[in-house]
Amino acid sequence: MGPAGDAARPGRFFGVYLLYCLNPRHRGRVYVGFTVDPARRVRQHNGGRKKGGAWRTSGRGPWEMVLIVHGFPSAVAALRFEWAWQHPHASRRLAHVGPRLRSEAAFVFHLRVLAHMLRAPPWARLPLTVRWLRADFRRELCPPPPPHMPLAFGPPPPRASATGRRAGPLADPESEPDQDAEASCALCARSFQDEEGPLCCPHPGCHLRAHMICLAEEFLQEEPGQLLPLEGQCPGA
Q: Residue 168 domain-assigned? A: no
Q: Residue 228 domain-assigned? A: yes
Residues 220 and 138 in one domain: no
Give the Å distances, CA to CA, from 219 to 112, 114, 222, 225: 32, 28, 6, 12
Residues 192 and 85 in one domain: no
Residues 133 and 61 in one domain: yes
Residues 93 and 192 in one domain: no
Instruction: Give residues with Cβ within 8 angstroms of 171, minimum separation 6.
Output: 165, 199, 200, 202
Domain span at residue 138 reads 15-153
Q: How many domains does the chain have?
A: 2
**The model scores a pTM over 0.75:** no
* CA proximity to 71, closest of 168, 141, 137: 168
The number of CA neighbours under 13 Å toward the Cβ of 203 is 10
Residues 32 and 102 in one domain: yes
Q: Residue 27 domain-assigned? A: yes
Residues 149 and 192 in one domain: no
Residues 24 and 110 in one domain: yes
Q: Residue 121 domain-assigned? A: yes
The answer to whether residues 32 and 85 touch, using CB atoms and an 8 Å cutoff, is yes
Give the Å distances, CA to CA, from 6 to 2, 9, 52, 76, 78: 12, 8, 23, 8, 11
Task: pLDDT tens for the chain, 237 residues: list them.
Answer: 333 444 444 458 999 999 999 888 877 899 999 999 999 999 888 887 666 667 677 667 689 999 999 999 999 999 999 999 999 999 999 999 999 999 999 999 999 999 999 999 999 999 999 999 999 999 999 999 999 999 999 998 776 433 343 444 444 433 334 444 356 788 777 776 654 567 777 777 788 888 777 877 787 777 766 666 777 778 876
Q: Residue 128 domain-assigned? A: yes
Backbone angles phi, psi at 44, to 5 degrees: -65, -40
> Of 131, 153, 175, which one is at a domain's C-terminal end?
153
Q: Would you call the peptide bond into 62 cis, given omega within 30 degrees of 0 as the criterion?
A: yes
